[in-house]
A and B are shown apart, each in its own frame.
Chain A
Amino acid sequence: MTVQSYAGRAPRPSSLADVLELVLDKGLVIDAYVRVSLVGIELLTIDARIVVASVDTYLRFAEATNRLDIQAASNAEGLPQLIEDMTEKGASSKTRGALSGVAEEVSGWFGRGEDDEDEDSRRDGERRPRRPARSGASRRGRDNSRENARRRRPSNEDEEE
């Protein structure tokens, strides 16, 4: 199968979070009693649901209206300076920050294979002990939710042995 290329289309989704949603959330699964799951991978997509409180959203929009030139808006013309302001500290930055946070978290998780925590990760997967607190400052904030997620999951890995 060959498909002509088109500049606006990538072979895969461009963000790691979207790729992971595809390959971790979707696809065929093998019965839990037979399969051996790779270490930790089921935990990756859990933090990807974000709730933004309504009032916070409303206040962001109210603030944004102050930056809007109404006349220009009604002409639907560009306001480059204002838009730049918004991009820096405006309405969408909060959501974007949270989303890229997920991607960073996720890549951190995979990247861990490179260092000496490999050993821990593997044993985690086999026996699911409570994970000792990590020293990495960037991950500390997430450890709780990850632990909770881990405990919610039934442990299947031992069935194979």
Chain B
Amino acid sequence: MERKIRVLVAKPGLDGHDRGAKVVARAMRDEGMEVIYTGLRQTPEQIVQAAVQEDVDVIALSILSGAHRHLFPRVMELLAARGADDVLVVAGGVIPEDDIPFLKEKGIAAVFGPGTPTKVTIDFIKAKLEGR
């Protein structure tokens, strides 16, 4: 049987807007992925715990609060501590261009800004997971 791609869509930090995250989740569902949606205001600890228990292939982080420079590296650290750093991590939301090199250095595979067609994100994930 073909294995389903499992994705955790997570909203770290304190902003209360998850419309974008829900749209992406829905688009992933329509591409045959199993999407675990955990809701707003998740701590990095909660996100990593969920990612481990749900055995996801991908974590998609959505953030609008500006705290990504603090929260994303923390997620990566915790993943590594749990031996789960093979999970693909992508990000979306409002993230200044200047911060992207820093986030990539920390292990975020890609950053998709506002207006990115969902297909771009989904194709990126599929290509990255190909041959795993």
Do they bind each other? no
